Structure 1
Amino acid sequence: MDIDIYSPDSYTSGIPHEQFAWLRANAPVYWHAHPDGGGYWVLSRHADVTAVSRDFKTFSAQRGFVMVDEMPPDILTMTQSQLLGMDPPQHGPIRRAVISRFTSRMLAALEPRVREIARGVMESARCGDPVNFVDDLAGDLPTAVICSLLDIPEDMWPQIRRWSDLQTSGTDPDLGGTPEEVTQASIDMGTYGFQLASERKGRGGDDLITLLIDQEVDGHTVSEMEFASLFVQLTVAGNETTRSLISAGMHELLKRPALYQQLLAEPAGLPQAVEEMLRWTCPLHYFRRTATCDTEVGGQKIAEGDRVVMLYSSANFDEEVFASPLDFNIRRDPNPHLAFGHGIHLCLGANLARMEARVFFEEFFRAFGDGIEAVGEPVFIRSNNIHGFKQMPVVLTRAA
């Protein structure tokens, strides 16, 4: 098979399942050419992705960051200050600082606010005419939730979303900008985060910024500069991935009206259904690691310095782990998907995203019942990293 899973054009119709299935069956550790003249190893099986995710000593996130493309030294240095691009020991204290604020108790206390935001989204949605479900419904909730958590002024929310879109969708001509604009968006966003941290340090507020910047973990206090990088990661992840989950999850239900009606009648089944939406939609296709020494994966020798790409959207359809993986099964159990990654870099906001998706569907069902109709095929973001829609035309009708 002619394998090309680097080109963003390979993803404009969704996950390239045929290529991924061939890789899992024939070349689970596959050397893939890169346009820079080098190459990288692609891991397509669940077991290999999981093993590399766990072995942070052999496979570093910090050495080359998490994107497959090599970065200029100055940009790499900037990205390595993000939690996503840190290895231990720098990684641990900052992650624990954030995790301590995303407790089950905090999420339970936050749910009424998330529900209030979701109801506002439903109330403002236009009915009777086509709307873009991605921007007009699915995108509003996560932006509002993360910005509310951080107590960002509401007039800044559109700017936060624009900065986020530039950084995640730079290869899509409809959403991204020039490489210079993408870099500038990251710098501007980090600068804004630094400014917020500086303003709130020692003020005794109860927003997430103040709680993070004022606490000490393992003798380490999160600095304003560390928070600036963390701010970029929290806001970008809090926007894009949850928007993709909600949009693609709704699309799969609309393609299967019986499942939609099942959840409409029994919304208690939503938590399990959300797990299948996560497996199926997998908001990120991959993250990269860099080998810190000569090693081996799946019997294949890997040299120190080699790039290793963990293909989550292939691992989530591994026939060795998931029965009938191409069936969208909202009662799948167990469901050990890797949509949130694995190991020490497991997504910090995983349970927040789960709660947002559940509340969104509960409030959507309450407001619209089965009053939603797809009026066109969704259009995917042109990206080899982000798996999500940029357009999903629907018509809404409010429940009687």
Structure 2
Amino acid sequence: MRLMPDKPQPDWDSRSDTVLSDQIAAYDKMRSRCPVAYSDYLGWSLFGHEDVVRALDDHRTFSSEVSRHLSVPSGMDPPRHTAYRRLIERHFEPERVEAFEPLCRAISVDLVSSLERGVEIDLVTQLAQRFAVQIQCAFLGWPDSLHQPLLQWVQKNHEATLARDTSAMAAIALEFDGYINQLLAARREAGAAAPEDITSDLLRERVNDRPLNHEEIVSILRNWTVGELGTITACVGILGHYLAENPQLQRRLREGPHQLPAAIDEILRMHAPLISNRRVATRPVEIGGRKIAAGERVTLMWASANRDEAIFGDPDDFRLDRDPAQNLLYGRGIHVCPGAQLARLELRVVMEELLKRTRKFTLVPGRQPTIAIYPASGFSGLPMLVA
């Protein structure tokens, strides 16, 4: 049992209006002013690249077991984590990811083609969210009939997060588990006639010489889906916004789409689709000149570490020749994102089709995007004109 230490005095208010109105700018300032900072809401926040990498590489000191709820495998430490991680990785093998490209492209073509031309659209709700829901359902083998319920769930989750309504957020989480329970029940009832997909595969998986139990399967599917819906939506919005603001780069990528993979990683380095991850200190540790006691919460600020001037120089300088090993977009260490190759394929394909099937896309004059607030990133509204 971990003893909780006395709380330090806060160095900042992570939920102030100033921070939430522009998270990236606020974290840049904190990285310069107080790179290891305490707040009542986040515990200790690590803003510098070196400190975040140190925490990622030292899972014995910085544990991922931060939740009261089962989280497979992202909320586990070795040795428990290891067997689950091997199981997860089998579902993201290169052959399976590559085989998904034609279906991902068909979804992208359909969504981009359906965008109205010459009138104001919202790129978040009309492309980013729909793309995230449809590709996730397609990859997991979930029916098209779930598209609309999941889109409504995303909207309710967004509204509850915006209102900081914790009771509503808890009810919404249970609602999502209900979808998963229905899918699993249908497959169990179908038996040998169940569709051949990842969701059915999980019902046959074993870990430590026993079948996965229901709670473990639900946790895996929840982590895959909720994380994917949020981050892919954020990614598409961030990429669309950046290219709309930088028409010369937009033209360059239309003419040279082979540059897209590096460009996507670089844009998402500058504006992270995932703000942070949590850890807890298992023993006393000093980092960045601050002493963190055993049991204290630690927040790894991806959105700051990937903009650290000590590593990247001017964080807003767009460059395609950076060392990809320094980019923490998909994490690092034992918890590096197992679906990184899939996410890269999905983002490359949807941006290829957006560039191929339009002449240009621009921000709407006089209309400001709505910036997403913590724990989300990117935009919750993105007015745009597509030609």
Query: One-letter code of the match for 1:138?
Result: A
Q: Tell me how far 1:391 sits from its aligned partner.
A: 0.7
The match for 1:188 is 175
The match for 2:36 is 29
Q: Do residues 59 (structure 1) and 62 (structure 2) align?
A: yes
The CA distance in 2 between the partners of 1:309 and 1:57, in whole Å, is 16
Query: One-letter code of the match for 2:230?
Result: E
Listed as ranges, the matches of 1:21-170 within 5 Å are 21-34=28-41, 40-62=43-65, 64-65=66-67, 76=68, 79-167=69-157, 170=160
| Comparing 203-212 and 97-106, the one that deviates more | 203-212
SS at structure 1 position matched to 2:309: coil
SS at structure 2 position matched to 1:320: helix
Query: One-letter code of the match for 2:279?
Result: R
SS at structure 2 position matched to 1:339: coil
Query: Are the structure 2 counterparts of residues 283 and 151 from structure 1 closer, same or farther at C-alpha, using a change threshold of 3 Å?
Result: same
Query: Are the structure 2 counterparts of residues 54 and 194 from structure 1 closer, same or farther at C-alpha, using a change threshold of 3 Å?
Result: farther
The match for 1:7 is 15
Q: Tell me how far 1:207 sits from its aligned partner.
A: 0.9
Query: One-letter code of the match for 2:362?
Result: E
Q: Tell me how far 1:26 sits from its aligned partner.
A: 4.1
Query: Are the structure 2 counterparts of residues 54 and 168 from structure 1 closer, same or farther at C-alpha, using a change threshold of 3 Å?
Result: farther
Q: Tell me how far 1:86 sits from its aligned partner.
A: 2.2
Task: Please tell me whether the aligned partners of residues 205 and 211 of structure 1 are also in contact (alpha carbons under 8 angstroms).
Answer: no
SS at structure 2 position matched to 1:114: helix
TM-score, normalised with respect to structure 1: 0.86
Q: Tell me how far 1:226 sits from its aligned partner.
A: 0.8
TM-score, normalised with respect to structure 2: 0.89
Instruction: Choose from 256, 262, 271 the match for 2:252.
Output: 262
Instruction: Choose from 186, 211, 224 the match for 1:221.
Output: 211
Can you list the C-alpha shifts for 1:99-119, whole angstroms capped at 9, x where unaligned? 111111111100000000001
Task: Please tell me whether the aligned partners of residues 186 and 232 of structure 1 are also in contact (alpha carbons under 8 angstroms).
Answer: no
Q: Tell me how far 1:312 sits from its aligned partner.
A: 0.9
Task: Please tell me whether the aligned partners of residues 57 and 333 of structure 2 are also in contact (alpha carbons under 8 angstroms).
Answer: yes
Task: Please tell me whether the aligned partners of residues 130 and 151 of structure 2 are also in contact (alpha carbons under 8 angstroms).
Answer: no
Task: Please tell me whether the aligned partners of residues 371 and 381 of structure 2 are also in contact (alpha carbons under 8 angstroms).
Answer: yes
Q: Do residues 379 (structure 1) and 370 (structure 2) align?
A: yes
* Structure (1 or 2) with the greater helix fraction: 2
SS at structure 2 position matched to 1:85: coil
Task: Please tell me whether the aligned partners of residues 71 and 223 of structure 2 are also in contact (alpha carbons under 8 angstroms).
Answer: no
Can you list the C-alpha shifts for 1:112-154, whole angstroms capped at 9, x where unaligned? 0000000110122222221100110122112101111222221
Q: Tell me how far 1:190 sits from its aligned partner.
A: 1.6
Query: One-letter code of the match for 2:129?
Result: G
Query: Are the structure 2 counterparts of residues 222 and 278 from structure 1 closer, same or farther at C-alpha, using a change threshold of 3 Å?
Result: farther
Q: Tell me how far 1:83 sits from its aligned partner.
A: 2.8
Q: Do residues 234 (structure 1) and 241 (structure 2) align?
A: no
Query: Are the structure 2 counterparts of residues 33 and 226 from structure 1 closer, same or farther at C-alpha, using a change threshold of 3 Å?
Result: closer
Q: C-alpha root-mean-square deviation of aligned residues, in Å?
A: 2.3
Task: Please tell me whether the aligned partners of residues 53 and 343 of structure 1 are also in contact (alpha carbons under 8 angstroms).
Answer: yes
Can you list the C-alpha shifts for 1:159-206, whole angstroms capped at 9, x where unaligned? 223334544663314xx7x32221112112223213322432553632
Query: Are the structure 2 counterparts of residues 15 and 24 from structure 1 closer, same or farther at C-alpha, using a change threshold of 3 Å?
Result: same
The CA distance in 1 between the partners of 2:18 and 2:224, in whole Å, is 28
The CA distance in 1 between the partners of 2:369 and 2:93, in whole Å, is 35
The match for 1:73 is none
Query: One-letter code of the match for 2:359?
Result: G
Query: Are the structure 2 counterparts of residues 244 and 11 from structure 1 closer, same or farther at C-alpha, using a change threshold of 3 Å?
Result: farther
Task: Please tell me whether the aligned partners of residues 244 and 387 of structure 1 are also in contact (alpha carbons under 8 angstroms).
Answer: yes
The CA distance in 2 between the partners of 1:278 and 1:221, in whole Å, is 38
The CA distance in 1 between the partners of 2:17 and 2:335, in whole Å, is 28
Q: Do residues 307 (structure 1) and 310 (structure 2) align?
A: no
Query: Are the structure 2 counterparts of residues 170 and 4 from structure 1 closer, same or farther at C-alpha, using a change threshold of 3 Å?
Result: farther
Q: Do residues 179 (structure 1) and 169 (structure 2) align?
A: no
| Comparing 131-140 and 188-197, the one that deviates more | 188-197
The CA distance in 2 between the partners of 1:166 and 1:8, in whole Å, is 23
The CA distance in 2 between the partners of 1:217 and 1:277, in whole Å, is 38
**Structure 2 unaligned regions, length at least 5:** 1-9
Q: Do residues 342 (structure 1) and 329 (structure 2) align?
A: no
The CA distance in 1 between the partners of 2:351 and 2:238, in whole Å, is 12
Query: One-letter code of the match for 1:373?
Result: T
Can you list the C-alpha shifts for 1:359-395, whole angstroms capped at 9, x where unaligned? 011111221132x2211221112x2221120111112
The match for 2:6 is none
SS at structure 1 position matched to 2:79: coil
**Structure 1 unaligned regions, length at least 5:** 66-75
Query: Are the structure 2 counterparts of residues 312 and 127 from structure 1 closer, same or farther at C-alpha, using a change threshold of 3 Å?
Result: same
Aligned residues: 373
SS at structure 1 position matched to 2:117: coil
The CA distance in 2 between the partners of 1:286 and 1:168, in whole Å, is 17
The CA distance in 1 between the partners of 2:199 and 2:84, in whole Å, is 13
